C-alpha cells in the first residue's frame, strides 16, 4: 500500500511556503531551506519580504500562483489565518495544503478536503520527508 504523503512529496516540485520571511531563526526558514536543498522549488509568501533563500517573495498566495504552478501550500501561520488561505487554495484550484505542527483548523481542513484538496494537518513537512526517507 502506497503512503499518500510519500506520493505527495515525491510528486511535488514547487512548494509555496506561507509565512516564510528572511528571519533565519524562524522554523519556516529552516524547513524551506531543507526543502530547497532536497530539490524543491520554494516560493516564499510573506507580505513584507522581497526575497528569501534566493527566491522572489510574494505578498499573497494568489500573487505567487500567478507566476508558479504550485504543488503544495505549506503553512506557517496561526490557525486563525487558515480559513482565508483555504479560500485562496480553492479559488486557485491548488492540489495540496500542508498545515505545519500546531496549525490546526478542522473546519477549514474539512472544507478543503470536501473540495478535493489533499490536506495534511499538524505535521512538519521536514520531519515527514525524513521519516519517509525521500
Residue 2 has pLDDT above 90, yes or no: no
Residue-level pLDDT at 12:
98
Alpha helices in the chain (DSSP H): 4-11, 27-37, 61-67, 82-92, 106-114, 125-131
Give the CA angle between residues 18, 104, 47 to the nearest 5°. 20
> pTM for the whole thing?
0.97
Label residue 127 by pLDDT band (50, 70, 90). very high
How many separate domains does the chain show?
1
Check the CA dihedral 48-124-14-37 and report its sign.
Answer: positive
Residue-level pLDDT at 68:
97
pLDDT in tens, 8-19: 999 999 999 999
What is the residue range of 21's domain?
A: 4-131
Quick one: which of 62, 77, 97, 73 has its CA closest to 26? 77
Residue-level pLDDT at 25:
97
Contact between 21 and 46 (Cβ < 8 Å): yes
User: Which CATH number is 25's domain given?
Assistant: 3.40.50.720
Amino acid at each position: 500500500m502506497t503512503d499518500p504523503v510519500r506520493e505527495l512529496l515525491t510528486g511535488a516540485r514547487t512548494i509555496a511556503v506561507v509565512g516564510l520571511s528572511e528571519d533565519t531563526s524562524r522554523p519556516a526558514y529552516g524547513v524551506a531551506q531543507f526543502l530547497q536543498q532536497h530539490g524543491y522549488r520554494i516560493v516564499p509568501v510573506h507580505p513584507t519580504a522581497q526575497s528569501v533563500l534566493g527566491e522572489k517573495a510574494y505578498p499573497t498566495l494568489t500573487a505567487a500562483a500567478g507566476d508558479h504552478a504550485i504543488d503544495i501550500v505549506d503553512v506557517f501561520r496561526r490557525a486563525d489565518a487558515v480559513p482565508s488561505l483555504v479560500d485562496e487554495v480553492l479559488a486557485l484550484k491548488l492540489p495540496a495544503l500542508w498545515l505545519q505542527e500546531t496549525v490546526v483548523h478542522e473546519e477549514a481542513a474539512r472544507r478543503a478536503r470536501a473540495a478535493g484538496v489533499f490536506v495534511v494537518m499538524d505535521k512538519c513537512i521536514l520531519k515527514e520527508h525524513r521519516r519517509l526517507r525521500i
